[in-house]
Amino acid sequence: MQLLECVPNFSEGRDLAVIKQITDEIESVDGVRLLNVDPGKATNRTVVTFVGQPEEVIEAAFLAIKKAGEVIDMRKHHGEHPRMGATDVCPLIPISGISMEETAEYARRLAQRVGEELKIPAYLYEHAQPNKDRNNLSVIRAGEYEGFFKKIKQPEWKPDFGPVEFDAKRGATVIGARDFLVAYNVNLNTTSVRRANSIAFDVREAGRVMREGDPINGKIITGKDGKPLTIPGSLKAVKAIGWYIEEYGIAQISMNLTNIQVTPVHKAFDEVCEKASARGIRVTGSELVGLIPLKAMLDAGRYFLAKQQRSTGQSEAELIRIAIKSMGLDELSPFKPKERIIEYLLRDKADSKLVSMTLSGFADETASESPAPGGGSISAYAGVLGASLATMVANLSSHKKGWDNRWREFSEWAEKGQHYKNELLKLVDQDTIAFNRIMDAFGLPKGTAEEKAARDEAIQSATRYAIEVPFSVMKLAHQSMEVIRAMAETGNPNSVTDAGVAALCARTAVLGAFLNVRINAAGYHDKSYTAEVLAEGQALSQMAMDREAEILEIVNGKIV
């Protein structure tokens, strides 16, 4: 499925009733999912995030731009953030199944419709703008709303679509296609915008203009081509300015991280801390605007744990907690991961029904008259418990007194254990989903030849999936025994029996899952495939039993 994300910024952050009128338009489009609404009082600006398939997304964006033009009056607008229109900027971001080139074409279609149907001057930016002299958002927006009455009359600033007349009430809008961007503000213990800007110039990629003598008021130094020379900042793929937020009574460094693979959030935070400290200013926390990818938060958690020489093999929830506390993301307002991390908002709750239950709830569901969850899901969960115990031993070992020089070794083992645990957790629900697919396929109509053929195809497809899921359990549980054995051999000796129990769990997961592979393989028509899977499954079962015996021998040897 092709998925686009749209992150329009509207020039209203104080009147929630006005904002709701705009978001209601977005939610009126079937297939579009509103993920986040983030209003800012001081900036008087709201960042909205929604996703869906391309046609639905550009329809929702068009309706939102139309409504914003009706309910926002730019003649009365004041706020800290640069802006030029009721819908200031409307970027499209490819999420899955769609290229940047295709995304850019959708952005051009949207801009053309806004210009022609709504009569709002529309500019293209980033990947949607073929003219590289005017594809930078800050360059397009220079002069802001107040300056655009003159700017729009200049031939080089003729809108890409729409009238060459500036609309006093609605302003102009910028529509484009870009990579995922993280809007991120760092809080300072100062009220000085000038000092905040100095730090922003230190870190942003564009840096600062070179001047003679006084770095602020001195004469600008130009090159042979007459253009100002600049001193680059320390961070690539970062745009930044300093501003004062009256709502909080502090100055901030407001950053756009345009490529978090190049400059991740935690690197931006630490760099601002360093540059601020050099100027006698302290960072007190930070603020995320809109959404952030899960990986960015996990990477941040690992980064700050590693700085403390602590194990990075922690659970997803703990890594996120460490990231929040380390960067002070909850200083100004609560940071709720389920509402701010994009993957959490996109998750289908049906895919994690079982693992979201309490232990007693899971046991009750297993013991009920329903045939699922059954042995396949239980086998997967046995694998989860085995990997979890091994990870526990690794984490305990990394913090053992006197073993400080070995923290990285055990941290790496703990990360591996967390990987196996997380992958096996997914399969707990997937095994039950696989069983339900088979039941659904058998329930399809079979009154005609066409219906019989479709039903048989559905049964075979579901059966193949019901083989693949437990087979994946077998492979992952067997692989996790590498971590289990290492912890039995080299981990904290006080936890050696935990490694032994982990081996028993992993062996059970492998052998239990193989029972499911075998029974489902019996009903699959492709016998060459099943023969290959059964042969590999038999080999995995034997290897798991051999590994279990080796691990238990190590454990028993350390107990006596």
Where in the sequence numbering do the catalytic residues fall? 81, 431
Q: In DSSP terms, which residues pair with 34 in a beta bridge? A: 50
d(CA 43, CA 244) in angstroms, rounded, equals 10
d(CA 512, CA 375) in angstroms, rounded, equals 7
d(CA 364, CA 303) in angstroms, rounded, equals 40
SS3 per residue for 46-80: EEEEEEECHHHHHHHHHHHHHHHHHHCCHHHCCCC
d(CA 107, CA 65) in angstroms, rounded, equals 13
- 65 in Cβ contact with 87 (< 8 Å): yes
Q: How many CA atoms lie within 13 A of 103 on its CB side?
A: 27
401: region left, alpha or beta (phi > 0 left; psi from -120 to 50 alpha) = beta
d(CA 537, CA 443) in angstroms, rounded, equals 30
Report helix angle 496-521 to 375-398, nearest 10: 150
**92-105 in b/e burial notation, b at 16+ Cβ within 10 A?**
bbbbeebebebbbb
440 SS3 class: helix
Q: In DSSP terms, which residues pair with 50 in a beta bridge? A: 6, 34
The 8-class DSSP code of residue 221 comes to: P
d(CA 192, CA 396) in angstroms, rounded, equals 46
d(CA 223, CA 239) in angstroms, rounded, equals 23
Which residue reads 């290897």 in tokens?
Answer: 543
d(CA 382, CA 300) in angstroms, rounded, equals 30
